[in-house]
Amino acid sequence: MKKPAERGDDGSFMRIEVISMLKLLLVSGIAVTFLALFVLIGFSGSPAVANSDWTSIPTRCTSDFSISLYKECLGPNTTSTAKDTDANGTVSAIDQVLSLPSSEQASVLTCMFDSCTNRTNRPFASKEESLYVVHYTFGLNGFTQLNRYFYLEAAFPNLKKTGRSFDVTMTPHVKGFYLNETSGNQTYAQVVTNVVQKTITVECQEGESFCDPAYFLRFGDIDFNDYQVDVLFNSTESLALNGSNVQFRKTWGTQSFTNWLIGMKFFFLFLSAFVAGWYIYSMNKLSSREQNVEQGFVMALALSLIFFNDPFYFAEATYGSNASRILSVGFQVTFFQTLLLFWLVAIDNLRLQGKENGVSNTKFFGPKIIFVAFFWLIMAIFYGYIKYNRNNDI
């Protein structure tokens, strides 16, 4: 008959039984098999992840985006000493907008963009070859939360088909439209609440009619069905469009892939719940003397795997729930740190097998728990930051 593990004065096990390497290999093999199965099904059976098309006939608005328009939008009760210092005043106007308090920037820029669009489409410069600044406005319609994201790229025409590169400073502005339930009228909200400029380098290949598309705007959280995008380009060289236009390509996630992903998550959610239930049921058949620490950790891993499969993803994908995003990050980090703690315990138990003197629970588990808790906090902050800051990328 096997002698039961002895306990010390502090109630700890003097010798902690170690799970066999065959069981470790079995658990690892099952995990790898499920991962391979998920990847295989994902590549063979999933619908298209995203769709892409070119925005048709964008409105090219090159009216007087100037200091005078800036003063007009600033309001009669405010004063400004700014003057048109360049040929068209656009660069000075944008500089003045950026010098405003952040709470005023978006409203003034919106007024200037709307005035530009509504007034005229005449160019800034009298000669097409000296056109350095141009404003485009276009709509993006028909989105739902299930589309998950969309991003935009801009392709500048390369009429001479020469190899070259030039810098372009972009000032994007986005409005989201929704139906006001109180008034019954369509209204809009500022999606980007401050004025942001982004400078990109446009690369043009010899023999190509258009330069390489330049990525400039991404939204990872779709809160509106319809959007209006205004973007002001300020180039370091002449934009010799000569009747051509900058082309905008939008790419968005498909609803069919989101629905497929929801189904896959539910499948693995129920599968992991079944495995966890079966394992717990099997463990309960054993006496306390037949159980060891590693089996308890496997039970904890099986339970945390259920939540790792994101049971609240349906709410996140359908309604954009912030609470479900927080829970998702917490569940993922907790599973990985529980797995790390399991391996730390298993490996340290292998080291202690040959020692005759036991180790107290405090000395054995304390440093490991502190180590894992530190990494849990770091990972939660890191993944939480990525999840929230990738939503609106300009």
Tell me the domain boundaries of the chain: 21-47+257-393, 51-253
Within its chain, how far is the Cα of 176 from the centroid?
Answer: 19
SS3 of 63, please? coil
pLDDT of residue 121: 47
Mean pLDDT of the region 252-259: 90
**Burial of 27 per CB tally in 10 Å (0-12, 13-18, 19+):** middle
Which pair of tokens denotes residue 386? 């990525």
Higher local confidence (pLDDT), 266 or 125: 266
Most confident option among 125-134, 137-146, 345-354, 360-369: 137-146
Q: Which residue has the higher pLDDT, 352 or 11?
A: 352
Q: Are 13 and 357 in contact (CB under 8 A)?
A: no
- DSSP summary character for residue 192: S
H/E segment holding residue 327: helix 322-352
Whole-number mean pLDDT of the chain? 77
CA distances from 143 to 73, 135, 188, 315 (A): 31, 24, 15, 17
Percent of the chain past pLDDT 90, that is, above it, reads 5
Report the alpha-carbon distance of residue 191 to residue 177 in Å, rounded: 10
Q: What is the pLDDT of residues 53-95, one digit of tens each?
A: 887 665 666 555 677 778 888 876 666 666 655 444 566 777 7
pLDDT of residue 14 exceeding 60, the answer is no
Q: What is the pLDDT of residue 85?
A: 53
